[in-house]
Structure 1
Amino acid sequence: MNQSTKIFPIIFCLLGTPFLSADEPAEIDTNRFQQASERTFKAFDPQTEQTWDKPFFFMQLADPQYGMFTGNKGLDKEKVLVDQAVEHINRLQPRFVIVCGDLTNATPDQARYEAQVSQYQQDFSKIDPEIPLVCVCGNHDIGNRPTAESIARYNQHFGDDYFSFWVGGVFNVVLNSSLLKDPSGAPERLQQQQSWLGQQLQHPRVKEAKHIFVFLHHPLFLEQEDEPDQYFNIPLVRRTPLLAQLKAANVRAIFAGHYHRNAYGQAGEMEMITTGPVGRPLGKDPSGLRIVRVQETQIQHAYHSLETVPDAVAIP
């Protein structure tokens, strides 16, 4: 059994402050979706969060993709699934939640894009405001061939498309993987991201992080780091040097979505963890989410269907 399927123990959880029910419309807090700014995430203090304090857990979701079930004709199925996920998030109280791309099914140039963004923000606004919500851009959010214009449209709604932040002594990097998949529409943006990433990973303080995590939408690979190019991974021409760079920086794990099912692989000691959808599945894995426990020297993670999310998470 690999780490992507580990089951960890459950303990009793105290009930917290009540939150909005699934039937109550939430008021959209637009500031919540603009925390990714100036290449950092402003909900976390960059100074205090650089120091390891104690183990914690976070929750990773991927591909809510509002509109996918119906070909952009309706949003009801995605809304029901996201409401279930939000109830679990509010009960479990993770250190943060991160959604790894394809927030909408429509792309910025399609008519229903704004309505899907609005529904996404309304539903995710039901998360306890004390729990930071990190959004990652996917290919549907900025297009399969992103341009400066499509990225700018995403920025208006969700802030920066790549950035970094510290949480409890762990350094986290969010990348725009659509630029890695097909940079032809904005080659200068990929160059800027790569230059920025190099600076981030070479920072002396980052070298002292307990762990380094990378979050993006497309998996760099599904199972083997040298597997052939295909729709669901990053082309080898850009994958191979990036993997070498991440290995050299001692990145602990990469978290992705896009595949609409789970996959797992390793590149040396580095884990490539692909998480199934909270929205519409494309394989045997049901709609769900991943819980990641972070300890000082190791991590443990497990994917749960929305019907089998534990009542609480044990943190030693």
Structure 2
Amino acid sequence: MYLVRTILLTACSLFASSLLHAEEPTGKVDARFKQAKDRTFRAFDAEKEQTWQQPFFFMQLADTQYGMFTGNKGLEKEKELCQQAIAHINRLKPRFVIVCGDLTNATPEQARYQAQVAQYHQDFSKVDPEIPLVCVCGNHDIGNRPTAKSIAQYDANFGDDYFSFWVGGVFNVVLNSSVLRDPSGAPEVLQSQQDWLEKQLQNPQTEKAKHVFVFQHHPMFLETDDEPDQYFNIPLERRTPLLAQLKAANVRAVFAGHYHRNAYGRSGAMEMITTGPVGRPLGKDPSGFRIVKVQEDGIEHQYYGLDDVPESIE
């Protein structure tokens, strides 16, 4: 009896230990997740990439949201879906891949947050190192009412919350849309981002870009630029002047997630492209991602479910 009890206790101890180590972050963040720094993305040579070279494509993901399927009790389904997406990324070899927010389901003040961050890092570190991986903050990453503290926690794990970068003659702007949605916890962050954005869009070099893209988590709007305020869009109070500013700078398209479904609209010539989730869907669109082909004079884009991705991209 004593022997059986000892074996059972040892087995339980080992099992608990394995769970603990699986959930614990290492405390060390892979350098590839810290390339958004000093308001730029260091994987790209800013001077070299300002020149148009040739057509290319990139992949836009959104809402990996580790923990959503189980209410933060497990990560298995998200791991499976993200690993499937990563296999597609490594096979297709896009110019870059960008994940538009809600990397985790838990927010920084919740106990499961670091375990979910650790799983995201573990899985996405498998992306081919030759493919730049750009991360965008969402409301789950910094909270529905972000604060300087929650943004600092995100920055420690994923780099800057807003920044810009050039790729092949295209100028790309990443915004923290959570402070656009609710700036009450960090009004100084919203003001700093706005001052920075104005300088970015007024830079004479930006005017020479073949295209200007904006990436963020929340859609500006789902279908029409004057639609009423709701959970899934930016309030009109801040949406209307920002749209005018982006259109004045000839922004070609805004890419977002958050909706866990696909949506599409236009504001003048500017496209508002909302992409479904890699993680848990909330509508008819399956888990998947968007492939965006960039030509010198325009773009084409299509959403693919994870089971319907082509073998190659022309």
- TM-score over 0.5 (shorter chain): yes
Query: In 2, distance between residues paired with 1:135 and 1:297?
Result: 27
Counterpart residue identity of residue 231, structure 1: Y
1:13 corresponds in structure 2 to none
1:184 is paired with a residue of what secondary structure? coil
Residues 177-202 of structure 1 deviation map (CA, whole Å, 9 limit, x = unaligned): 00000000000110000000000000
Q: Please say if residues 102 and 137 of structure 1, whose CA atoms lie closer than 8 Å, have aligned partners that are also in contact.
A: yes
1:156 pairs with 2:156: yes
1:70 pairs with 2:70: yes
1:138 corresponds in structure 2 to 138
Counterpart residue identity of residue 49, structure 2: E
Q: 1:310 offset after TM fit, Å?
A: 0.6
Q: Please say if residues 60 and 290 of structure 1, whose CA atoms lie closer than 8 Å, have aligned partners that are also in contact.
A: yes
2:184 is paired with a residue of what secondary structure? helix
* Runs of at least 5 residues in structure 2 that lack an aligned partner in the other structure: 1-25
1:49-88 alignment to 2 at 5 Å? 49-88=49-88
1:283 corresponds in structure 2 to 283
1:260 corresponds in structure 2 to 260
Counterpart residue identity of residue 285, structure 1: D
1:251 is paired with a residue of what secondary structure? coil
Counterpart residue identity of residue 103, structure 1: L
Query: In 1, distance between residues paired with 2:83 and 2:219?
Result: 26
Residues 194-244 of structure 1 deviation map (CA, whole Å, 9 limit, x = unaligned): 000000000000001000000000000000000000000000000000000
1:1-316 alignment to 2 at 5 Å? 30-314=30-314
Q: Name the count of aligned residue pairs.
A: 288
Q: Please say if residues 29 and 125 of structure 1, whose CA atoms lie closer than 8 Å, have aligned partners that are also in contact.
A: no
Q: Mean Cα displacement is larger for which, 27-36 or 117-126?
A: 27-36
Bigger RCO of structures 1 and 2 (CA < 8 A, at least 6 apart): 1
Query: In 2, distance between residues paired with 1:172 and 1:99?
Result: 14
Counterpart residue identity of residue 297, structure 2: T
Residues 71-95 of structure 1 deviation map (CA, whole Å, 9 limit, x = unaligned): 0000000000000000000000000
- Higher helix content, 1 or 2: 2
Q: CA RMSD in A?
A: 0.9
Query: In 1, distance between residues paired with 2:98 and 2:184?
Result: 28
Q: Name which one, 1 or 2, has greater alpha-carbon Rg.
A: 2
Q: 1:29 offset after TM fit, Å?
A: 6.2
Q: 1:30 offset after TM fit, Å?
A: 1.1
Query: In 2, distance between residues paired with 1:84 and 1:286?
Result: 13
Q: Please say if residues 29 and 157 of structure 2, whose CA atoms lie closer than 8 Å, have aligned partners that are also in contact.
A: no
Using structure 2 for the length normalisation, give the TM-score. Answer: 0.91
Query: In 1, distance between residues paired with 2:126 and 2:153?
Result: 24
2:115 is paired with a residue of what secondary structure? helix
Misfit runs of 4+, over 6 Å: none
1:303 is paired with a residue of what secondary structure? strand
Query: In 1, distance between residues paired with 2:306 and 2:298?
Result: 26
Residues 135-180 of structure 1 deviation map (CA, whole Å, 9 limit, x = unaligned): 0000000000000000000000000000000000000000000000
Q: Please say if residues 90 and 127 of structure 1, whose CA atoms lie closer than 8 Å, have aligned partners that are also in contact.
A: yes
Task: State, as a whole percentage, how many aligned pairs show the same letter.
Answer: 76
Query: In 2, distance between residues paired with 1:29 and 1:169?
Result: 30
